[in-house]
Copies of this chain bind each other. A is one copy, B any other.
Amino acid sequence: MEALLNSQSEVTEAALAAIAHMPTASLPMLMDDAFTQRLTDADFMRVAVLLAQKSHDEGGCPIGAVIVDNAMRRILGKGHNTLVQENHPYNHGETSAIRDAGRRDFSQATLFTSLSPCEVCATLLHMRGFSRVVVGDVTNASGTELLLRDKGIQVDILEDSRGIELYARFRAERPELDLEDWKGVSATREP
Q: How far is the CB of A178 from chain B (nearest CB, A)?
A: 14
* A184 contacts partner chain B, Cβ-Cβ < 8 Å: yes
Chain B residues with Cβ below 8 Å from A186 are 105-107, 128-129
Q: How far is the CB of A72 from chain B (nearest CB, A)?
A: 17
Q: How far is the CB of A5 from chain B (nearest CB, A)?
A: 27
Count A interface residues, CB 8 Å. Answer: 33
Q: How far is the CB of A104 from chain B (nearest CB, A)?
A: 6
Q: How far is the CB of A161 from chain B (nearest CB, A)?
A: 28
* A123 contacts partner chain B, Cβ-Cβ < 8 Å: yes
Knowing A119-B127, A120-B127, A184-B128, say if A98 contacts B106 (CB, 8 Å). Answer: no
Chain B residues with Cβ below 8 Å from A88 are 99, 102-103
Chain B residue with Cβ nearest A104: B185
The 0/1 profile, CB within 8 Å of B marked 1, for residues 80-122 of chain A is 0001001111110001001101111111000000000011100
What is the total number of copies of this protein in its complex? 2
Q: What's the Cα separation between A12 and B106 when bound, in Å?
A: 44
Q: What's the dominant secondary structure at chain A's contact region?
A: loop
> Does the CB pair B106–A183 fall under 8 Å?
no
A residues sitting closer than 8 Å to B (CB atoms) are 83, 86-91, 95, 98-99, 101-107, 118-120, 123-124, 127-129, 180, 182-187, 189
13 sample A-B contacts, Cβ–Cβ < 8 Å, listed by A number: A88-B99, A89-B101, A89-B102, A90-B127, A91-B99, A106-B186, A107-B189, A118-B127, A119-B123, A120-B123, A120-B124, A129-B184, A129-B187
